[in-house]
Amino acid sequence: MKTILITGCSSGYGLETARHFHALGWNVVATMRRPSAAPLTASDRLHTLALDVTNPDSIALALERAGPIDVLVNNAGIGLFGALEHSPMQKIRDIFETNTLGTIAMTQAAIPQMRARGSGVIVNITSTTTLAPFPLAAAYTGSKTAIQGFTRSLAHELAPLGIAVKLVEPGYGPTTAFAQNTEIRLEDVLPEPYWSYAQPILAGMAEPALFTTEADVAKAVWQAVHDESGRSHFPAGADALALVA
């Protein structure tokens, strides 16, 4: 029975991916900063662990407690929506520390055991903001675009070792906490003249014609993990699929 470790499982894509793999018979290690916050019921095949992907000691301890893993899913991330001019630089640093450096640190820490076994899959969850410009998300897009390039290069580096590296690219997920965990009020990052520009964008986000659900991402991760064709990109969600079409 294979084991998957998923970061950022307290809600959203990570939570649903943990449930999906568990329901299909996998051992699941669901990690998050505060395990008590996750609506998951522990079982003999589902374990929750504390993990802060920005803390090297936390990463090392979580991987030690998880034991051997076959798949790593780098899902932990935070969003930031607003005008770059008014986005606090510390929050931008936080975005890159979690979304970019956290993904790189988790990957680096998981490689040795996969290399020793000669097998493994690493799935990095990014965003369709990396495929087409999305307004008022410059810092967030930058943090995810860096992982696109990182993944493409790393896939070549690890393929001879038997390790696959994949990208899952969700579209807009209105039911997720995309920007709720940045502790920034929208009015603070969208003063005039940006507010007038942002209004129709926000209206479109409130009633999107196409969007991505948590289940869409969980299914795309499953597909990426089981892919044997060498495919590297897995768009997730109706809007993501429409974009790449």
CATH number at residue 134: 3.40.50.720
Q: How confident is the model at residue 37 (pLDDT cuts 50, 70, 90)?
A: low
Range of lowest pLDDT (60-64, 105-109, 157-161, 235-239)? 235-239
More confident residue, 182 or 106: 106
Q: Are 136 and 191 in contact (CB under 8 A)?
A: no
Q: Is the pLDDT of residue 179 over 50?
A: no
* Catalytic status, residue 140: yes
User: In this predicted structure, what is the pLDDT of residue 129?
Assistant: 94
User: In this predicted structure, what is the pLDDT of residue 1?
Assistant: 87
Neighbours of 210 (CB within 10 A): 13
Q: Mean of the per-residue pLDDT values for the chain?
A: 94
Distance (Å, whole) CA 51 – CA 15:
14
Distance (Å, whole) CA 191 – CA 87:
11
Angle between helices 214-226 and 12-23 (to 10 degrees): 50
Rounded mean pLDDT, 22-32: 97
Q: How confident is the model at residue 27 (pLDDT cuts 50, 70, 90)?
A: very high
> pTM score > 0.75 for this model?
yes
**Torsions phi, psi of 49, nearest 5?**
-130, 145
Neighbours of 149 (CB within 10 A): 10
Rounded mean pLDDT, 221-242: 95
Q: Is the pLDDT of residue 181 over 60?
A: no
Q: How confident is the model at residue 183 (pLDDT cuts 50, 70, 90)?
A: low
The number of helices, as runs of H, and strands, as runs of E, in the chain is: 9, 7
CA 36 to chain centroid, in Å, comes to: 20
Rounded mean pLDDT, 149-177: 95
What does DSSP assign to residue 231? -
Rounded mean pLDDT, 35-62: 92
pLDDT in tens, 193-202: 999 999 999 9
Choosing from 140, 172, 194, 197, the catalytic residue is 140
User: In this predicted structure, what is the pLDDT of residue 190?
Assistant: 94
Q: How is 108-124 classified by DSSP, letter by letter?
A: HHHHHHHHHHT-EEEEE
pLDDT in tens, 75-106: 999 999 999 999 999 999 999 999 999 999 99
Question: What radius of gyration do the chain's Cα atoms show?
Answer: 18
Give me the domain span that covers residue 69: 3-244
Q: How confident is the model at residue 234 (pLDDT cuts 50, 70, 90)?
A: very high
The domain total for the chain is: 1
User: In this predicted structure, what is the pLDDT of residue 43?
Assistant: 87
User: In this predicted structure, what is the pLDDT of residue 178?
Assistant: 60
